[in-house]
A and B are shown apart, each in its own frame.
Chain A
C-alpha cells in the first residue's frame, strides 16, 4: 500500500491501496507536533495502513 500526500497522482500512476497523509515532503511526518506526539500520530497512520493492507478490495481505493 502507498502513503502519500499526492493522492490524485498516485491514482493516475496506478497505485491500488492509497492512504492520503502528511505533506508532500514528509508523508509520515508532522513537524508541528512534539516528538512524542508525532510518534503517536505516526503509529495511528500505520494502523490505517494496516487496515488498508487487510482490506479486501476489487479496484483502486483511497483509504482514510
Chain B
C-alpha cells in the first residue's frame, strides 16, 4: 500500500483562521480536513497515514525550527508520497507547501506534490523545483485540485515518469525532455502548414519564452572624445587554446583579454570558437569582429578619449536567455567598476 503524508495549515486543520496562525507544528494520525476528501479520491490505492499541521505565521516566523520538525517527521514516517495543500492563492501557505515539497524530495527522495494558483507567490518561487498542479485562486476549486493531485501524485508514488507539463496538467518546470515523436518532423510541419492555411489553430512545438522586459535606454554619453570606450563581442574571439573554456554554443562563461595581446602579430593568436557563424573572415582579421584598429585610429584623432585596455567576449549562439542576461549583467558590472563610460558590442 502506498503511504501518503499530508501537510496543511491551521485553517484547513480546523484550528482557526488568522488568529490561530501561530499554531505550533503538530502531527496527527490519518487524514484531516481536505485530506479526508483526498483519501476518498485515492480510495484503496493509497493511505494517508499522517497529517502534518503548522500555522502560517509559525512556519515563517520560526522557519528553521519548523523545517527541523518537518525533517524529523518526514524522516520518521518515510512515506511514498508527500502531498502539501492545495494552497490556492494563499501567500504564506503556498510558500510553506513549496518548501515542504522541496524538503521531502531533496532530503528524503520522497516524491512530493502541491496545488497552487499559477500566479501565487509559492508558484512563482517553486515552479521550477516542485511538481505543482495549477488550481483556481480559492478553495472553491478544492475538488478539482484534489482530483489532479491524487491522479498525478499516484504516478509519482509509483515512480512513473511524468510527460510534458501540458499533457500531465502540471505547471511547466522549465526543462525539456527528449523522446522520439511519431509522426516524423516533416509530416508534422506539413500538418501545421495545412492547419495554418485552413486558419485553424496551430499549436507550436517550441513555445517561445515570454517577451523580455523592455530595457530603458542608457543615458547618452555626452562626448566620446572625453570617454573611455570598451569593446565587447558575443562572437567568441579567444586566444588559441581557449584558456577560459568558453563554450562554442550555449555559453555559460565570458572572459576578457588584453588588447595588447590581440594586437600582437595582427591578431594571429586569436581565433573565434563560436559555433554559430563561419569565422574564416574574423580569423583572417579579428578587427572585423573587435574593431580595435579603427578605435585606436579614432583615439589618435581625438574622437574617442581612450579605449579600455581589455576586450570582453562570450558566445551568443544557443545561449539561454537566463545565461545571456547574467553574462551581460556581469560584464556591465565589471565595465562600470573599471570606469568605462561606453561600450560598443558587436554581434554576429
Residues of chain A at the chain B interface (Cβ within 8 Å): 1-6, 10, 13-17, 22, 24-31, 35, 38-39, 42-43, 45-47, 49-50, 53-61
Contact = CB atoms under 8 A, between A and B. Distances in A.
Contacts of A22: 288
Contact of A50 (B277, B287, B289, B304): B304
Contacts of B291: 28, 42, 45-46
Contacts of A16: 215-218
B176 interface: no
B16 to A, nearest CB: 49
Contacts of B294: 28, 39, 42-43, 45-46
B298 A47 contact: yes
A60 B217 contact: yes
A45 B297 CA distance: 12
B212 interface: yes
Contact of A29 (B220, B278, B288): B288
Nearest to B345: A2
Given A14-B212, A59-B217, A25 B281 contact: yes
Given A1-B343, A39-B294, A46-B295, A26 B289 contact: yes
B337 interface: no
Contacts of B290: 28
A33 B278 CA distance: 19
6 contacts: A2-B346, A3-B347, A4-B347, A16-B218, A46-B295, A58-B217
